[in-house]
Amino acid sequence: MKKKILILSGGISKERLISLDTGQQVAKELKKNDYKIKISEPNENLEKTIKNFKPNVIFNALHGQFGEDGYIQSILERFKIPYTHSGVIASSLAMDKEISKKIFIKNKIKTPTSGSIIFDK
């Protein structure tokens, strides 16, 4: 049986157009490997789409706010279907550049100097 992959792309962030392109490119490559693909917007029909398509995995091609900040990840967790991307907390922390930088510094990971963010070492 072919594996089914639901690709989420588009969305409402400022990065919508690049997300749509990402979704199309991902679909193109996955189809080459004989996966059954469906591309969907993360809209009010998402739950119905997931229930009807019954994907084996959800590919998160969303960019920016609501796609990379833990929001869509928290929704996807409800369905108990594996998805690509970091989980809710990691996504949320990674989108907050100040918190990320503090975590990097605490773990002795070198980071570039930032003119707008000043941290004690």
- pLDDT tens for residues 7-37? 999 999 999 999 999 999 999 999 999 999 9
CA distance 20 to 11: 8
pLDDT grade for 117, boundaries at 50, 70 and 90: low
CA distance 42 to 49: 10
Residues 6 or more apart whose CB falls under 8 angstroms from that of 3 comprise: 35, 36, 56, 57
Instruction: Decide which of 3.30.420.40, 3.40.50.300, 3.40.50.20, 3.40.640.10 is the CATH code for 4-95.
Output: 3.40.50.20
Q: What is the pTM of this model?
A: 0.84
pLDDT grade for 115, boundaries at 50, 70 and 90: low
Q: Taking the domains of the chain in order of start, what are their residue ranges?
A: 4-95
**What average pLDDT does the segment 54-72 reach?**
95
- Are the beta carbons of 67 and 76 closer than 8 angstroms? no
Among 35, 37, 44, 38, which Cα is nearest to 11's? 44
